[in-house]
Structure 1
Amino acid sequence: MHYTNSQMKLDQLIGYFNGKKINLIPPFQRGHVWKPEHRKRLLENMVAGRPIPAIFLYKEPAGSTFEYNILDGKQRLESLILFIGSNRKDMNVAGVKDYFFSEKERSQIHFQIEVDGKKTMFKNLSDEVVRDFREYAIPTIEIDLDDETSLDEIINLFVDINQQGEKVKRFDIVKAIGKKNKLLSSVFELVAQEQIRKQDKYFKPKNTAYSRVLDKLQIVEAASDPSQKVDRMWERLFELVLMNRTGKHRQPNQILKTFIKVEKGDDSHALAAAEKRKLQRVFAFLDVSYDETPLGESRLARDLPHFYTMVTTLLSSELLDAGGAAPDYPNVRRKLLAFSKLIKEGAKPPKSQTVAEALSEYMGAAAKQTTHPGRRTTREQKFLEILDTL
């Protein structure tokens, strides 16, 4: 994850509001929680030229519905909208009421602040004060996702930067994400369950084939906190579900944008019954195989690039259809065990030149840039080629 420190003048920010280019309600955000006194204090500081905390933004690619998603600073921006309103020609926010739906929120439009010992609304400020106010520079931090960014990292960031005022809990963030996206929610339910300890709520892994199989991954096993473990399981499973649904490999940072912005499409509707049956068949097979054979301790089960390829191949091919009786599928199990020996550390190269070349290509695609869609496709193709010979 990369961070760019910058500034945005208030006049420019108002232009974004009027152009509907800032999304104030992406999945991470909660409802309106600031009290009037918090809003007044913020605007009094800004009118006086005092500094305020930075706003965290996620910038969308060109051509997107929104130019920015707000990750932190929602209450500050809403306070600005309420204060400025639309009663001045030289500076106003068009369609103020479009941002607020309850009468309680709308009643705060054009609220008063104290300036030079007197209470006043924005429309009554002098032209000189407004001129200086519109030049006010708000510190901003733009966040960019790289190939190594994880859902776990994004949630941790959001928890850390939202510790001003009413604190945000990890539980609330995860609930908010799932509420916005039915697919995320239905995938989450496959691996997680809600727990209550005194006044605290949190998630922990369910005892299911999904969680047992995913827990073998080194990246999941390394998480000491149950909530963090759930996040890593959720993210891995969501990636597999999307591939199964669309037939396309994606880079994780493209998938993670689903967690930040709100868009309808393949990523949004809940798991269908047929999708669940297909997933359940694969994970039930792996669960039994891990328990009864050394497969669960192999690189296919432990290393993410190999695991991803194994599962997506099982989902997208007809291997299990011709693999013998469910849930063991002995023919497929035998092939996977044989493949796991080929990629074991220190394994001897295959005697067959054809298999050796295919394995070399597979291992090359599993060694670097492992999440690139092209490399994932190469691994899947070579994986199937090699399995056919075993």
Structure 2
Amino acid sequence: MLPRIARGEIQLPDFQRGYVWDEERIRSLLVTIAQGHPLGVVMTLQTGNDQVRFKPKPIEGIEVESDPVLLVLDGQQRLTSLSQALSGDGVMETHDTRGKLVRRKFFIDIEQAVKDPRNLDEALKSLPGDGVVRENFGRDVALDVSTTEKQREHGYFPASLVYGDEGTAWLFEYEDPGVAKTFLNTVVTPMKSYAVPSIELDQQTSKEAVATVFEKVNQGGMKLTVFELLTAKFAGDADYYHATGTDFRLKDDWEETTRVIRKYPVLESIEETEFLQAGDATGQPPRRDGHHSAQGRHPRSPAGRLPSLDREGA
């Protein structure tokens, strides 16, 4: 699946949120892959669906201009983590446990992994992106694996070399050929052959079924907001496109709306979900001029108005 992501065959619907996983979740995911443990199913949708017109965007960190074959409905955080940590230079922008923005690169301690291949939690390390661990407020260097030579010296194998021939070449020069061979057979090869479980929805899948997928996703993992659920529900509405000749993007509509309501000091703190709830509270959708529509219709919505929310569900 990762090679297909790199080629741009697998992308995201453009309304999907950004990448938000922290370094410990990424590390835990890599441990899961390394030990061959089950991973949550990734759900994708074939492009070319007549009922759903999702605009695509590449997975974060991937630069391609080709059209995708599949769009990820569930599994963005996992696939982004794997594609960034296990390819390229392996350096990722993420957050630590305190929420601080950091750059991290992941390594596998060869000796530790060979010693107990069934328990790789201790062997998989999250280090600063430059490969240098500092202490004493940055004055002292506790560990330096910033170069290939230093990585071999300390026995720290970059996780980004698991795929491709570079990893084999790296191990070929390792000081202990026996340990290198064992590590290759018990850790690297199983990781390379790990198949991410996936469900692929075909081109005949209805937009109602796609909306249901996002509702189910909201029950676990990274919670979606009500606004994100509605964005998913109305994004790429084919009926709206056929009627108007353009796509309705709730996120774009909200950006235009904010430019209007921010002119009113009393509305400066209103967020997107609150704005939608305001329309639901009055029985009429809010308009960008700060008043409620007399006709109860919004000119840009697939349903002719901004979608209202179920107050109990909100």
In which range does the TM-score fall when normalised by the shorter chain?
0.3 to 0.5
Larger radius of gyration: 1
- For normalisation by structure 2, the TM-score amounts to 0.47
Q: Which has the higher contact order (CA 8 A, sep 6+)?
A: 2
More helix by share: 1
- For normalisation by structure 1, the TM-score amounts to 0.39
